[in-house]
């Protein structure tokens, strides 16, 4: 097979990789753009220039050293989006301490696991958020984590003391910063696996600094840009694509709220004249659905990123037309790859920006492989998305066997995502290998059906899953969120949707079950939990017997 016919692409290399630590890169940005806004945290009434921010980062770094931390030690950070989160992100990088991101939605069992598995010496957390009492939960697990020496909460006396730093440690900070390597591990992020305990993806300065930089480069970010960041910092979307995307370009980080709030997000864009907006599709859907949407001035927007889960075509079109995001890009990746592997470009056609996740990122190789044989498939053929390059994690923390299962001997990270590469090198993600539905021998990809149903005038959002069926093995079920108030009975709506499908998609692709909901079970990063939906559906539909039926 001719190489051009194979589903393999190599990202451009005309712009070199940054061969710096995060601290070195931040220092260069401060030298170039010191007086410009670095962080604007609207819910905290905070506005720091890059000079202010850098002074606080260095001071906090000396404070960490004064507490006895040294390069390679792990510190857990458990908090929603505050300016203090960003300070810690850069202060730990400055002194070579590995930051362990802890999901703000975690409870005691998960917290204890992450702290123990990573061997954290210290936990720094917000006191509380929403229904989470972090102080009480930290106290509850303290005795279960032998490595944990200290717990500090934001805005406490101990936090203020840490923030003040220790001038006597400034020489130590300089010596440590100059000794660090771009290939040093600096961050551990736990992936929320659908089974078992999460795994700690270990990322280096080179991994995340360059990924943030190139995501920004492909949006044409400059120091004139102001980025609205409603996505969580604890995830790659927030701390890498957004924060490091900004600091590598001298752009402003605008934090609208501690947790996602669509009205506060649009208010931040309007008030701060933001030029870039990041979000998962459900965030954009929620913003577009606001009754007060037309009251916000969004004309300053031009670019941004939509990622985290597949983007419905109709939502993307609305973002371009109604939110002025004419240069918005789609990114695709995973935590283990820092995270982005493909991205669309601002100048791409509407079709490319609505129907694909872009092409190979700079300095990144991608290919589509047969899940059974591992061989590269022809273009136009569905297979597993694999990626290789600087962005692949150094491994799962302290889990060499699981690392070898994910990264093959040739350095390819196997993502578990099903994808198709077109003749021009663009990639379309069609689902997870585990999400593929097999109905009576027909392979069905939920994404295709979701995209079709999004075009129905009554449907705001939809997720398609497979549920057990005695005859066919699996049947299709669509979970549907309707637009606003619909003055029709559920039966009338069902009939309308089925009529809409008839003759437009194959009969076996028409959902057998329709279920109307207000929300989907979701992770805090906006990924729909289809495993949980399937479990609920089995109970709801009384399919327990069918779920135990064995099919060839």
pLDDT tens per residue across span 248-269: 999 999 999 999 999 999 999 9
Whether CATH 3.40.50.12780 fits 20-37+44-259: yes
- Joined together, the tokens standing for residue 75 give 């510190």
CA–CA distances in Å: residue 5 to residues 366, 429, 492: 14, 19, 48
The CATH code that applies to domain 437-547 is: 3.30.300.30
Tell which phi-psi region holds residue 166, choosing left (phi > 0), alpha (psi between -120 and 50) or beta. beta
pLDDT tens-digit readout, 333-383: 999 999 999 999 999 988 888 888 999 999 999 999 999 899 999 999 999
Residue 167, judged by CB atoms within 10 A of its CB (0-12, 13-18, 19+), counts as exposed
Query: What pairing do the DSSP bridges indicate for beta strands 185-191 and 199-204?
Result: antiparallel
CA–CA separation, 261 and 524 (whole Å): 13
Determine the pLDDT at residue 203: 98
CA–CA separation, 181 and 184 (whole Å): 5
The whole-number average pLDDT for the span 460-488 is 89
Cβ burial 34-62 (10 Å sphere, 16+ → b, else e): eebbbbbbbbeeebbbbebbbebbbbbbb
Q: Nearest CA to 185 among 28, 340, 74, 333?
A: 74
CA–CA separation, 94 and 61 (whole Å): 7
CA–CA distances in Å: residue 97 to residues 93, 103, 207, 217, 551: 6, 19, 16, 28, 51
The C-alpha R_g of the chain, in whole angstroms, comes to 24
Determine the pLDDT at residue 551: 39
Least confident of 275-289, 420-434, 517-531: 517-531
CA dihedral sign of residues 78, 53, 284, 209: negative
CA–CA separation, 229 and 418 (whole Å): 29
CA–CA separation, 32 and 393 (whole Å): 30
Rounded to 10 degrees, what is the CA torsion of 172, 177, 179, 184?
A: 130
Boundaries of every domain in the chain: 20-37+44-259, 437-547
Q: What does the DSSP 8-state code read for residue 310?
A: P
In sequence order, which residues have a C-beta less than 8 Å from that of residue 5 and are 6 or more positions away? 378, 379
pLDDT tens-digit readout, 492-513: 999 999 999 988 887 888 999 9
pTM assigned to the model:
0.85
pLDDT tens-digit readout, 308-337: 766 777 888 899 999 999 999 999 999 999
What residues are paired with 439 via a beta bridge? 442
What is the DSSP secondary-structure string of 323-355? S--TT-EEEEE-GGGSSEEEE--TTS-HHHHHH
CA dihedral sign of residues 20, 24, 29, 32: negative
């Amino acid at each position: 097979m001719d190489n051009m016919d194979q589903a393999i692409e190599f990202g451009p290399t005309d712009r070199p990789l940054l061969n710096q630590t995060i601290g070195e890169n931040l220092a260069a940005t401060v030298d170039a753009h010191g007086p410009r806004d670095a962080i604007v945290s609207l819910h905290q009434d905070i506005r720091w220039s890059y000079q202010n921010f850098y002074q606080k980062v260095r001071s906090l770094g000396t404070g960490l050293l004064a507490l006895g931390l040294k390069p390679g030690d792990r510190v857990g950070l458990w908090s929603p989006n505050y300016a203090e989160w960003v300070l810690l992100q850069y202060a730990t990088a400055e002194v070579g301490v590995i930051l362990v991101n802890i999901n703000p939605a975690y409870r005691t069992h998960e917290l204890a696991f992450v702290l123990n598995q990573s061997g954290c010496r210290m936990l720094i957390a917000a006191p509380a958020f929403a229904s989470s009492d972090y102080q009480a939960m930290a106290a509850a697990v303290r005795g279960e984590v032998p490595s944990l020496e200290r717990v500090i909460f934001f805005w406490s006396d101990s936090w203020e003391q840490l923030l003040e730093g220790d001038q006597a440690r400034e020489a130590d900070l300089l010596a440590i910063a100059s000794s660090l390597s771009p290939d040093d591990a600096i961050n551990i992020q736990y992936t929320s696996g659908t089974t078992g305990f999460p795994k700690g993806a270990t990322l280096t300065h080179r991994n995340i600094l360059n990924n943030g930089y190139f995501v920004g480069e492909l949006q044409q970010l400059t120091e004139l840009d102001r980025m609205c960041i409603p996505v969580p910092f604890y995830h790659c979307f927030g701390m890498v694509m957004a924060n490091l995307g900004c600091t590598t370009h001298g752009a402003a980080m605008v934090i609208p709220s501690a947790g996602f709030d669509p009205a506060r997000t649009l208010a931040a864009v309007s008030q701060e004249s933001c030029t870039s907006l990041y979000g998962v599709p459900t965030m954009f859907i929620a913003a577009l659905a606001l009754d007060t949407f037309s009251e916000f001035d969004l004309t300053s927007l031009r670019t941004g990123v939509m990622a985290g889960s597949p983007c419905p075509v109709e939502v993307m079109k609305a973002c371009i037309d109604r939110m002025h995001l004419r240069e918005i890009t789609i990114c695709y990746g995973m935590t283990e790859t820092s995270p982005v592997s493909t991205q669309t470009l601002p100048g791409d056609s509407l079709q490319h920006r609505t129907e694909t996740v872009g092409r190979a990122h700079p300095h990144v190789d991608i290919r589509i492989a047969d899940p059974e044989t591992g061989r590269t498939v022809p273009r136009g053929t569905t297979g597993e998305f694999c990626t290789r390059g600087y962005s692949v994690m150094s491994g799962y923390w302290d889990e060499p066997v699981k690392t070898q299962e994910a990264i093959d001997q040739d350095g390819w990270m196997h993502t578990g995502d099903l994808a198709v590469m077109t003749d021009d090198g663009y990639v379309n993600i069609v689902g997870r290998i585990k999400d593929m539905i097999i109905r009576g021998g027909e392979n069905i990809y939920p994404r295709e059906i979701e995209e079709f149903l999004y075009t129905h005038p009554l449907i705001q959002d939809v997720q398609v899953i497979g549920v057990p069926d005695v005859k066919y093995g699996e049947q299709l079920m669509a979970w549907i969120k309707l637009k606003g108030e619909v003055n029709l009975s559920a039966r009338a709506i069902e009939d309308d949707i089925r009529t809409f499908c008839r003759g437009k998609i194959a009969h076996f692709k028409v959902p057998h079950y329709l279920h109307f909901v207000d929300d989907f079970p979701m992770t805090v990063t906006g990924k729909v939990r289809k495993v949980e939906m399937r479990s609920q559906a089995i109970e709801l539909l009384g399919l327990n017997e069918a779920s135990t039926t064995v099919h060839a």
